[in-house]
Amino acid sequence: MNSAAVLVIGSANLDMVFQCDRIPKPGETILGTGFSTHPGGKGANQAVAIGRLDGRVAFMGCVGSDAFGDSLADSLRQAGVDLKWLSRSPDIPTGTASIVVDSSGMNSIVVAPGANGCVTSERVEAVLSEAAHEVVLCQLEIPLDAVEQASKAATFILNPAPACPLPEGLLARCAVITPNESETAMLTGIDPATNEDCLRAGKSLLDRGVKNVVITRGAQGSYWVSSAGGGRSFPAPFVSAIDTTAAGDAFNGALAVFLAEGRDMANAIALANCVGALSTTKRGAQESMPTLLELKHLAGDLY
Ligand code: ADP
């Protein structure tokens, strides 16, 4: 088998969603109105996004030797993700998120990272030395030193989510960084409300060594700032959005695979906007990732 075009190194979590009329107060027990489980974790979501687009993708992460781990592995496998680098911890449970959603859609979330903490820099180093991938894609739900090790790959894309202060050496090794609006504000101190603000925020990250900054802006699309040129806005296609969960994951998976396949940055961003937009037209995270056929239908000549 050819090595995958994209290696996603990141988290896999089982999301447990409790519906209830209102969020319970501290010390209170209430009866919920519904319950469901969903495969999640930003790393696994992004790998599934690529698999659904028929991209060659491998996932490196860690889940527990438990039923949640089995179900996360199944979901990745069904999307066509290569699981050669997925490890199973014998004694630490699969990462889980407990999500309580009230009738107005407000939520309250606790994440127990569990086995995601077992993705160590030593393991990342070993995997990178064994296999060559066009692009390595990371997020920030695994230990930061593992992400720093991953950034030594030839082409490294960082989705800095959830946002945290980043070492300068890590930023300087990013071929592309893809913060959303709140992550941009946290990393730069600039709220990217207008194109001018996006350009300023992007330039401040370029000054710290990043080669390309792609700010995702929800329904407004995205904004690209590069060391080679200035800034450019990419409007998202209009869709009837019903659930924006994991739109950023859809966008990041798509951007990584289209760059790995040799498309230029502008085309890859335009297509990633389409994939992000399509993901908002269905409910859920991994369940909402569009297929290649759906993308071709929306993207037309862009593809
Ligand atoms: P995150 O989920 O990380 O907060 P965004 O909300 O910025 O990320 O969404 C990522 C991308 O998904 C956007 O850049 C855009 O391409 C697409 N997107 C998100 N929401 C919408 C929407 N309502 N309509 C069209 N495209 C959307």
**pLDDT at residue number 230:** 87
**pLDDT at residue number 141:** 97
**pLDDT at residue number 1:** 41
User: Cα of 219 to ligand 1 centre, how many Å?
Assistant: 5
Q: Which residues of the chain have pLDDT under 50?
A: 1
**pLDDT at residue number 229:** 77
Mutate to test the pocket of ligand 1, among 42, 137, 180, 240 (most ligand atoms within 8 A of CB): 180
Taking the CA atoms of residue 207, residue 209, residue 212 and residue 214 in that order, the dihedral angle to the nearest 10 degrees is -70
Catalytic positions are 249
How much is the pTM?
0.96
**pLDDT at residue number 16:** 95
**pLDDT at residue number 2:** 55
The finding on whether 218 has its CB within 6 A of some atom of ligand 1 is yes
**Count of CA atoms in the C-beta half-sphere (13 A) of 41:** 36
**pLDDT at residue number 236:** 97
**pLDDT at residue number 115:** 98
Taking the CA atoms of residue 82, residue 178, residue 238 and residue 44 in that order, the dihedral angle to the nearest 10 degrees is 30
Q: What is the pLDDT of residues 186-224, one digit of tens each?
A: 999 999 999 999 999 999 999 999 999 999 999 999 999
